[in-house]
Amino acid sequence: MAFDARAADRSGRSPRDTTRPALARRSRGTGPGAGAGGTGPDLDRAAREEPVTLRLDGRVALVTGAGSPDGIGYATARRLRDLGARVAIVSTTRRIHERATELGVTGFVADLTDEAEVAALADAIADQLDEVEVLVNNAGLASRASPEVLRPVAQLSYDEWHREIERNLSTAFLCSRAFIGGMAERGWGRIVNLAATSGPVNALPTEAAYAAAKAGVVGLTRALAMEMVADGVTVNAVAPGTIYTAASTMAELKQGLGTPVGRPGTPDEVAAAICFLCSPAASYITGQMLVVDGGNSVREAEFRY
């Protein structure tokens, strides 16, 4: 099924207040064994309550930026569905309806740089599925409506800079803010933000705005992880290197062939990392960035066997 969050926003309902603080924060525990270094009953009970499993049966998951059938968002949504989650996907264009039909999930159209549309999206998902418990902030890169900006800083306009920041960083902020309150109230949640090696690890000429935004995604991830750690919510980032998608350029594919692994990565390989961090099995991992780049970022120099 597919729904348009923009239509929901025009329905006359007041969208939720996405700036509301998290309610009913969970106690860290005050009994025997609570606190740093404790090994008493409270910690034992907490460990038993979280099963070490990859399954997400019945959990509501939202994947943003899933409009391309060859992209990371689509691969992630498919894998989350296979793990038992009830999946919603969203993109800026109505092609998301085709993806939703293919996957058998629920699709939404929304501009995630617009605060009101994100609020309407949150309400629409709650109405159709339930409150979001797993959020994958994959939206970013270029879109049909907003092509990628490749320009040196000296030639980069402020509007172009702002557009890249909005698309790659503000979307993660707005979506996270819309759903963390509900996660905190339930005492469980997973947020995985898509960063990139460009920015947090390395950089390329003409991509300053993109690199700055993705470095900002990692900063947002770490800060939010510390804010939500007492609420049973983990927040992590995945940083892909060169990934082979339908949008890959010949130059990008050549970069992939030059990695230690000898090829670019695939959307499914990135999706596997994302979905592990979304799972109950990753309950003791938060505030981290997992690099998926075939070892490229750790290689000191070109080598041959």
Could you tell me the two tokens for 64? Answer: 């943003």
Fill in the DSSP letter of residue 168: I
C-alpha dihedral over 31, 32, 36, 42, to 10 degrees? -70
Could you tell me the two tokens for 153? Answer: 């800083």
Could you tell me the two tokens for 90? Answer: 């969203």
Q: Known catalytic residues?
A: 210
| CA nearest neighbour of 105 among 131, 79, 71, 144 | 79
Could you tell me the two tokens for 231? Answer: 């609420």
Alpha carbon distances (Å) from 292 to 46, 95, 197, 232, 262: 31, 28, 8, 26, 14
Question: CA-to-CA distance for 216 and 164, rounded, in angstroms?
Answer: 12
Question: CA-to-CA distance for 125 and 182, rounded, in angstroms?
Answer: 13
C-alpha dihedral over 170, 171, 173, 174, to 10 degrees? 110
Non-local CB neighbours of 176 within 8 Å, separated by 6+ positions = 135, 137, 191, 193, 220, 224, 235
